[in-house]
Homo-oligomer: A and B are copies of this chain.
């Protein structure tokens, strides 16, 4: 077993550097796993860049793939992918959170409070317990999902073991928001099966809503105190934002598709198509239809939703819901003539506003650069599929208009970097390059300038 404290001390790494190092090590390890011949179907061949691509895609729980999982990988390969999804979606996250909390003393109490978004849970004794709790919670969710889907799938597959393999893979892929499939066509085979879609949506939401939310909800369910249970600002904000984004997605898909894709569908078909694709755009990446059947405005809307991504401290990626929530609140605060963001009877710290600004600007810059250079590298591909693919990679969503397998190696490398950045999170990456927070020794005179 790796002893993070020793490794960190020997290499003089900051907790943020350790987290990034962990992901990098995980990526190398996963690539090796997927290059082992036993992981492949007989006669199936996979190039080096494609193995790395699938490895990073699985580790970042994205789900983009230049090769067909079902045609390329053996059952052993399936288990490798499930393992990587598990490590990438839940393992490194909880492990790195623990590392952050345990050894992150240097960056101070303030940073440690961040991770759980609750000031009352940062005592060291409770931390290991908390991490075990998160890990266990996810395992239970996955197991319940696998059993329900496994039993249900017996009507779809000839043998019980095949049904349960599909159930297990589907449950892990949905809960970790991995987005991989072994049906060869995502959830399209279940396009008319609302039960399978419903279970998948629940699992996707549970994975992407944020671990602190799950823990607080569990606490809330078992809470027996006399006062009202107090959810943290983080939980209120991220759950609200999650719901708002889901509704915007559903309403937008309905608006843009009511005379085209949804024209010949009845209300419950329309609802499930809209709801599933909206929920999946948060980070799930599974789909119940060929996304090329959607029109341009819908695909742009989904691109924006994927770019925003999921909650921080979840299995998802992207800018993260809280970043965008703070941005929106900041605009409303300004419009109301106020300077401090007040929400849910709490005030948002000015530093968090500065941070969301930094994440938003950097994220949008990376997104724009990626689109520009992808269109330079792939002159034959139209702008829309590129925007969609880049947003999908950055949001670690993994749905695609089908261009992934046609990309050149440099374009694949751009996507690999985006998936990595999207998963590790811009904030952690920015802390990598950030110097130690220093008390400013001197001040210049302030001077006003014209804006906008």
Docked-complex contact A444 and B322, CB < 8 angstroms? no
Docked-complex contact A342 and B444, CB < 8 angstroms? yes
Q: Is residue A60 within 8 Å, beta carbon to beta carbon, of the partner chain? A: no
What string of 1s and 0s marks CB contacts (under 8 Å) between A174-185 and chain B?
000000000000
Q: Is residue A447 within 8 Å, beta carbon to beta carbon, of the partner chain? A: yes
- Tell me the minimal C-beta distance from A259 to chain B in angstroms: 10
Docked-complex contact A449 and B352, CB < 8 angstroms? yes
Q: Is residue A127 within 8 Å, beta carbon to beta carbon, of the partner chain? A: no
Q: Which residues of B contact A331 (CB under 8 A)?
A: 358, 361-362
Docked-complex contact A296 and B444, CB < 8 angstroms? no
Counting every copy of the chain, the complex holds 2
Q: Is residue A214 within 8 Å, beta carbon to beta carbon, of the partner chain? A: no
**A330/B358 contact (C-beta < 8 A), A256-B376, A295-B379, A376-B256 known:** yes
Docked-complex contact B447 and A335, CB < 8 angstroms? no
Nearest-neighbor residue (CB-CB) of A113 within chain B:
B448
Docked-complex contact A347 and B444, CB < 8 angstroms? yes
Nearest-neighbor residue (CB-CB) of A382 within chain B:
B382
**A361/B328 contact (C-beta < 8 A), A336-B434, A383-B382, A440-B338 known:** yes
Q: Is residue A57 within 8 Å, beta carbon to beta carbon, of the partner chain? A: no
- Tell me the minimal C-beta distance from A448 to chain B in angstroms: 5
Nearest-neighbor residue (CB-CB) of A376 within chain B:
B297
**A451/B337 contact (C-beta < 8 A), A296-B383, A371-B300, A379-B296 known:** no
Q: Is residue A357 within 8 Å, beta carbon to beta carbon, of the partner chain? A: yes
Docked-complex contact B234 and A376, CB < 8 angstroms? no
What string of 1s and 0s marks CB contacts (under 8 Å) between A318-329 and chain B?
011011001110
Q: Is residue A304 within 8 Å, beta carbon to beta carbon, of the partner chain? A: yes
Q: Which 5 A-B pairs have the closest CB atoms?
A: A359-B452, A427-B452, A312-B450, A337-B435, A297-B376
Which residues of chain A have a CB within 8 Å of any CB of chain B?
A: 110, 113-115, 117, 119, 210, 212, 232-234, 237, 256, 295-297, 300-301, 304, 312-313, 319-320, 322-323, 326-328, 330-331, 334-340, 342, 345-364, 368, 371-373, 375-376, 379, 382-384, 387, 425-427, 430, 433-438, 440, 443-452
Q: List 7 A-B contacts (CB under 8 A).
A: A113-B448, A326-B449, A326-B451, A347-B443, A348-B446, A349-B446, A355-B452
